[in-house]
Every structure is written in structure tokens, then in C-alpha cells.
Amino acid sequence: MNRWKGIGLLLLANILIFITLSITFTVLADFVLPSFGINLHQYVNQGDLIFALAIGFGGAFGSLALSKTIARSMIDGYQITHPKNHAESVILETVQKIANRLNVKTPELWVYESPDPNAFATGPSKNNSMVAVSTGLLNNLNENEVRAVLAHEMGHVYNGDMFTTTILAGLMNTFVYFISRWVYRHLAERNPALGFGAYIFLQIILSFLAMIPISWFSRRREFAADRFAANTVGKEYMISALQAIDGWVQRAQFQYTSEDALATMKISGQSKSFLRMFSTHPPIEARVAALQRL
């Protein structure tokens, strides 16, 4: 679980919070409160659309607000406050220098235990963010390559990628809730139990299908973060970092199988198969080719 990328964590948290909110609201609004003579829907015109917006964006922004807390709970690591070795000094110096140049607050910096070279950024805003790197990244990449990966993650922070992904997730949640409620209302008139069962089923299925356009958007933002890193530290170092990560994957014969359900959220991305639609990262070869064209 410590391998999840920041946007992957945000998407998973969004889905879980959104589904919990929507099911809880439906139970209260359609089963519990009516037994006390309270009908929430009568107080708002076009109630389903209003509630869809509230719950859809509530789930998305709730996950954004909790993103750093969730990330900390999912990794086995420690925060860098006072560097204890050269690697930690490189991390702190690099991120501080970029943050100062961009006039943003330096993110929380974390190192976490994981053999695969990886890094992620998360947080509600540019001035309230977190950047974490794995021990595998520090052990397998040279200093300039580590600086390039850190610049890439700072690109996400500065570009506000977590926030824009949240907006898109909120829109997708709204459609998921509205469609599910529409089906629920029509089925519940004849069979309330069937209607509620279909409602929960659609919530889960449509929520994961909604990840397809969100993941596509995330892949676009990865190319933008690569360009930011290239402009900050030099494209040759970003290319070298990506190739070093890909080399590790090949040497370790890393397999994206059912044993690793988190593969779609890794830094290396999916290069083949239908899982690529759900990958938040493009294939490394596509990223390297894009950098070489700069």
C-alpha cells in the first residue's frame, strides 16, 4: 500500500468518501427521515441535481482535505525536518530552492520504505502540500536524477494538479449520483429492495468507470510535470531518471498482475492492456519521447 501515487490515493479516497456519503444520504432521506414525517426533497426544487452536486463535490473535496492525512497513514516513513545524511540534504535543498523560486511554501518532505523507485505529491493546495520519496528512489537513482523527480513532483504542486483533479472528480461524482438516483427512483416504485440494491451496485460500478476520464486527465498532467522538471533541472536529467526507473522495473522483472492491484498508480505507468485506461501515469517510453521532442 505504500506504493500508491498521490493522485491515485486521492481518487481512491474520493470514491470511498463519495459512496459512503451518497448511500448514507439515501438511507436517511428515503428511509429514516420519512418515517418521522420529514421529506428533504420537498424543500429543494430539482432536489436530486442539487443533492448530486453537494454529495459529488463533498466527496471530492473531502478527499482533498484529507489527502495528506491519508498519505501519511499509508506509508511507512518519516518526515525530514533536519537532514541527517546527504540524501536528505539533497531532498530538502532541492525542494526548498524550487519552492522559493515559485514563491510557494515548502511542502512537507517524507521518505518512506519501499524497494521500488517512486515519489508522489499530494495536499489541498500549493501552500499546504506534501512530497514523499521512496528509499528505492534514493538507492537506485543518482543525485541529478533524484533532483529531476523532485522537480517533477513540485510541478504537480505548483500546477495545482490535485485541485484540478478534485474538480473533475466532483463533476464525475455528480453524474454518478444523479444517474444512480434516477434508476433508484424508477425501480423503488415497484420494489424498494431491488431499487436500493441497484443503486448501490451502480454507485460502485459507475464510480470506477468515472476513473477513466479522470485518469486520462492525470496522464496529461504527468506530461506537464515532466516539462516543468525539464525546464527546472534540464530534460536530460528527467529522461535519465525515467530510464533509471524503467531499468529497475526491467531488472526486477516487475509484473503488473493481480498480486499488485496498485500498479495503475505507479510512477512507471501501464504500457499495454486495458488497464492503461485506468492508469494515472503514461508509459515511460511515451514520457521519454515527449521530453526528447522538447
Question: pLDDT tens across 173-193, in order?
Answer: 999 988 988 888 888 778 888
* pLDDT average, residue stretch 41-45: 53
pLDDT, greater one: 213 or 35 = 213
Question: pLDDT tens across 208-230, in order?
Answer: 899 899 999 999 999 999 999 99
- Confidence label for 2 from pLDDT (cuts 50, 70 and 90): very low
What is the reported pLDDT for 49?
A: 76
What is the reported pLDDT for 277?
A: 82
What is the reported pLDDT for 250?
A: 82
Quickly tell me which residue has 459512503 as its cell.
Answer: 20
Which of 88, 108, 145, 153 does the annotation list as catalytic?
153
Question: pLDDT tens across 46-102, in order?
Answer: 567 778 888 889 889 998 999 999 889 888 899 999 999 999 999 999 999 999 999
- Tell me: pLDDT of 168 over 80: yes
- Tell me: pLDDT of 33 over 50: yes
- Lowest-pLDDT range of 22-31, 140-149, 283-292: 22-31
**Known catalytic membership, residue 153:** yes
What is the reported pLDDT for 127?
A: 95
Spatial separation of the C-alpha atoms in residues 186 and 288, rounded to whole Å: 50
- Confidence label for 5 from pLDDT (cuts 50, 70 and 90): low
- Lowest-pLDDT range of 32-41, 120-129, 171-180: 32-41
